Amino acid sequence: MIVLDPNGEKLNLMALNVGPTHPATHHCVRLLTALDGETIVAGVHEIGFMHRGFEKMAERGTWQQVIPYTDRLNYCSAMMNNIAFCRTVENMFGIEIPERNKVLRVIVNELSRINDHFICVAAAFQDLGGTTPFMYAFNPREEIMLIWEKLTGARLTNSFARIGGLYRDSYNGFEEDVLAACKSVEKALKDLHACLDRNRIFLDRTVGIGKISAERAISYGWTGPVLRATGVASDLRKDEPYYDYETYDWEVVVGTQGDANDRLQVRLAEIEESVKIVRQALKRLAPGPVDIVDPRIRVPAHQMAYQDMEGLIGRFKSVYEGIRVPQGEYYCGTECANGELGFTIIADGSGHPYRIKARSPSFAHVSAFAEMVEGLTLSDSMAILPGLNMIAGELDR
Amino acid sequence: MNNEAEKPNFITSSLDFIVNWGRTNSLWPFPYGTACCAIEFMSTEVGRYDLSRIGSEYVRFTPRQSDVLLVSGTITYKQAPILQRMYEQMAEPKWVIAMGACASSGGFYDCYCTVPGIDHIIPVDVYIGGCPSRPEAFFDAMFDLQKKIKDESYMKMRTERVKEQWELIKAKTAEAKANAAAMAKSKIADIKDFAVEKEQKLIKKAQFWKE
Amino acid sequence: MESVEKIVSLLEEKFGAQRESLAKWDACVVIAKENLHAAVKFLKNDAPAKMEMLLDAAGIDYLTYPNHEGPRFAVSYAFKSMSTVGARVRLKVLVSEADLKVPTLTDLYASANWLEREVFDQFGILFEGHPDLRRILNHCEFVGHPLRKDYPAQKRQWLSTSDYLVPELEKRLESKGYKVIERSEEINPVDEEFLEGSRK
């Protein structure tokens, strides 16, 4: 298309479509650009290629049946979403979960965060053409996946948390496995830093690219590591602590520039902090119950159901009718790997959720994408996108 | 002019063997990964599982250079036309694997926006269950696909593929033949006329000189 | 939290807001449509705890809600303060089916753009003054609004071709001060010839 630019000069722009099948857009973002040479003059982007109706599906089942759907929001760290949802509903019930459950949730949360950040960094490297770090990052990830398999029975979408409890207690030897995983995470971090810190090509392509100011990021609703990369120390684990996060010894990682490189470096540094938390949490893991004892909220254990009439009734009722969350509405945000995952829940007092709206961090991050790429080259735009870590399931829900 | 290839004989069968051997051991996948299954595919590619062992060394992100379209993840109605276009862009021979419950049947998203199985849009060779399917299941699907490819006949497929073209050529040849025959006939008639005329002229000349 | 209580009482005083009785676990006020923009401006700039971030806009359809009286739809905005740690407020606007218009917040928050597009897409609530109110999650040929309670969950709608984004691109160029003289050669994506070309 031929246009007049603001100075009155004639320009011949090319309209070029990028995605959704471009490898860096993960089949879920489409970007239409107006190119002047290789510079993007203007861009519009479109999402919705993965909209699979989380909210409509959640209205059709019972409260417990929502948990598998939350798994598939951010499938790189599935259990964090379970925990976020269960925490919201538990707050509505006003119940306090047992100590061991809290510690287990912290461990699972932080290991999931490590998993998620590794995938993000690995994909970022892959999209920039580096295959080696991709392999390095997947080694500890596989090790954590093995722990998931032993703990929950599934590799990726685990559905581990329950409202008022956990699917099951940890297995024998869980602590040793987690410690071994922590060691290999640290080793992989070393390898990754060796690939990343002084890699000329990588630095040239990411430093100073896709800068965003803290004000603009806040206005776009950014949360999590991408907001912290702009220099805002905002972390719900510190600001509105839950599961005793404030009693662990760790620090909020903050970036300086807010560019593509910072977003990845902050993630790598957060992995270190997560390893710290996991190590401390393992020391606190004392024996005790993981489920609360209330047949109206948490399904009674199998032993109860087989031996006790009350237990059987509780089990039957909570499976067939679902638990009854008190009538009302509530918004609660939890710090997930990508940022604040919030659930706006409208409950009508029955066994089915009336409406659940997920506030996904990726949605806010990707909404700024078109503005960020304007003025950069086409190849830069693909260096920015993986750093935002958009996960299709969470972006379009 | 018969199509010799339609009848199987010694040469074609061994050619089939060689071609299939080559194809089975270098299946380059095109990962059309939209959701959770794509992450499991990434796990399949690297480290512990290592997809390169069975010859799928290269993961190509372009439909032009790949053999297997690997649909891993939910396909929504918004994505459907794009998937169809991708499939059409792939060069023959091409195979499709539907990885995971979502791609095979829509999975547990029985909803206004999800396609209930990609076989509504494109043909599928192998389905894998699971949500998401494990890397082992993915390997199993690849072996199944390899078996399937081993049973295919290259020459048969080729004749089917060029059948239309072949018939077109046949028709054209016949037409050209008929044309040529007609032309030859008219030419012969012309020459005959010319010869008769010449003869008569010669006779006339001879008579003239006689006189 | 003190500052949140202060904000709620200030909103009640200034804008005639009412506490939502259903919100038992967080601070939520129902506000009249006319006062929404002014109230949000107050929240962002002058409130005791400035609400710098608009986290979420959730549409709600009360069609089958037990014992519900009043308008059918509502939009719930979730705000978060960055300067005062941990301060959160929700605003709720009730929208009747006859008048589906709500003033936009796009001039105050950049995140409002997509959030409002999503509410429009899922519930059909119109945001007055929104620069680009299109569908975002569903495709361009979709009819109806899927998250309304009267939309059957399994009513599927096929799409023939992808969205054609060039008009939006031109709009974006024009908003940046460029002037389109000659449009690029239009390719109709459903054109038979074009499709044939891709098949070959």
Of B82, B88, B113, the CB nearest to C162: B82
Same domain assignment for residues B138 and B210: no
What's the one-letter identity of residue A293? Answer: V
Beta strand B126-128 with C18-19 is unpaired
Question: A260 and A225 in contact (C-beta within 8 Å)?
Answer: no
What is the rounded CA–CA span in Å between residue C49 and residue C54?
Answer: 14
For B32-61, the pLDDT digits (tens) are 888 888 888 888 888 788 888 888 877 878
**Structural domain boundaries of chain C?**
2-159, 163-200
Interchain proximity A138–B47, CB inside 8 Å: yes
Same domain assignment for residues B115 and B42: yes
Same domain assignment for residues B55 and B120: yes
Interchain proximity C151–B85, CB inside 8 Å: no
Q: Is C162 on the interface with B (CB under 8 A)?
A: yes
Q: DSSP string covering C148-188, please? A: STTS-TT-----SS----HHHHHHHHHHTT-EEEEPPPP--
Of A5, A47, A331, the CB nearest to C26: A331
Same domain assignment for residues B55 and B74: yes
Residue B127: what are its φ and ψ, rounded to 5°?
-105, 145
Q: What is the DSSP letter of B5?
A: G
Count CA atoms within 13 Å of residue C41 on its CB side: 10
Res. C52: pLDDT tops 90: no
- Say what the pLDDT of residue C197 is: 45
Res. C34: pLDDT tops 90: no
**Structural domain boundaries of chain A?**
54-396
- The residue in chain C having the minimum alpha-carbon distance to the alpha carbon of residue A329 is C23
Res. C97: pLDDT tops 70: yes
Average pLDDT over chain A reads 87
What is the rounded CA–CA span in Å between residue A53 and residue C169?
Answer: 28
Q: How far is B112 from chain C (nearest CA, A)?
A: 5
Same domain assignment for residues B57 and B102: yes
- Say what the pLDDT of residue B199 is: 92
Range of the domain at B86: 4-152
Interface probe with A: pick from C22, C52, C169, C182, most Cβ of A within 10 Å: C169
Q: Per CATH, which fold does A54-396 belong to?
A: Cytochrome-c3 Hydrogenase; chain B (1.10.645)
- 3-class SS letters over B42-54: HHHHCCCCCHHHH
Structural domain ending residue among the three candidates B152, B182, B200: B152
Enumerate the residues of chain B whose CB falls inside 8 A of the CB of residue A22.
Answer: 61
Q: Assign residue C21 a region (left: φ > 0; alpha: ψ between -120 and 50; beta: otherwise).
A: alpha
Mean pLDDT for the stretch of residues A342-350: 88
Res. C200: pLDDT tops 50: no
Mean pLDDT for the stretch of residues A198-207: 86
Q: Which tops the pLDDT comparison, A15 or B207?
A: B207
**Percent of chain A surpassing pLDDT 70:** 100
Integer CA distances (angstroms), B16 to B4, B20, B151, B156, B159, in order: 15, 6, 9, 9, 13
Question: C123 and C61 in contact (C-beta within 8 Å)?
Answer: yes
> At A13, is the pLDDT very low, low, confident or very high (cuts 50, 70, 90)?
confident
Same domain assignment for residues B75 and B43: yes
Using DSSP's 3-state secondary structure scheme, residue A322 falls into coil
- Say what the pLDDT of residue C132 is: 83
What is the rounded CA–CA span in Å between residue C137 and residue A28?
Answer: 11
Q: Is C194 on the interface with B (CB under 8 A)?
A: no
A317-321: Cβ within 8 A, 24+ apart: A318/A64, A321/A62, A321/A351
Q: Is B112 on the interface with C (CB under 8 A)?
A: yes
Integer CA distances (angstroms), C25 to A58, A88, A296, C90, C92, in order: 22, 10, 20, 11, 15
What is the rounded CA–CA span in Å between residue C175 and residue A371?
Answer: 13
Interchain proximity A34–C173, CB inside 8 Å: yes
Same domain assignment for residues B127 and B207: no
Asked if the interface predicted TM-score (ipTM) of this complex is over 0.90, the answer is no
Question: B80 and A49 in contact (C-beta within 8 Å)?
Answer: no
- Say what the pLDDT of residue C199 is: 42
> At B197, is the pLDDT very low, low, confident or very high (cuts 50, 70, 90)?
very high
Q: Which tops the pLDDT comparison, A307 or B10?
A: A307
For B68-87, the pLDDT digits (tens) are 888 888 888 888 888 888 88
- Say what the pLDDT of residue C188 is: 53
Res. C194: pLDDT tops 60: no
* Entry field: residues in chain A: 397
Mean pLDDT for the stretch of residues B125-142: 88
Average pLDDT over chain B reads 84
Res. A203: pLDDT tops 70: yes
- CB burial of C175-192 (b: ≥16 within 10 Å; e: otherwise) equals eeebebeeebeeeeeeee
Count CA atoms within 13 Å of residue B116 on its CB side: 7
**Percent of chain B surpassing pLDDT 70:** 93
- The residue in chain B having the minimum alpha-carbon distance to the alpha carbon of residue C152 is B112
At the fourth CATH level, the homologous superfamily of domain C2-159 is NADH:ubiquinone oxidoreductase Nqo5 subunit (3.30.460.80)
Same domain assignment for residues B147 and B203: no
Res. A261: pLDDT tops 50: yes
- The residue in chain B having the minimum alpha-carbon distance to the alpha carbon of residue C145 is B112
Q: Which tops the pLDDT comparison, A277 or A126?
A: A277
Structure token pair of residue A62: 């019972």
Same domain assignment for residues B195 and B122: no
> At C184, is the pLDDT very low, low, confident or very high (cuts 50, 70, 90)?
low
Q: Is C164 on the interface with B (CB under 8 A)?
A: no
What is the rounded CA–CA span in Å between residue A328 and residue A345?
Answer: 8
CA-wise closest residue to A397 among C88, B105, B111: B111
Interchain proximity A53–B86, CB inside 8 Å: no
Mean pLDDT for the stretch of residues B77-106: 86
How many whole angstroms from its chain centre is CA C198?
Answer: 38
Res. B1: pLDDT tops 60: no
For B144-153, the pLDDT digits (tens) are 888 888 887 7
What is the rounded CA–CA span in Å between residue B51 and residue B44?
Answer: 6
Same domain assignment for residues B30 and B99: yes
Structure token pair of residue C106: 């796009």
- Say what the pLDDT of residue B13 is: 59
- Say what the pLDDT of residue B182 is: 92
Res. A10: pLDDT tops 90: no
- The residue in chain A having the minimum alpha-carbon distance to the alpha carbon of residue C173 is A42
Same domain assignment for residues B161 and B207: yes
What is the rounded CA–CA span in Å between residue A140 and residue C90?
Answer: 41
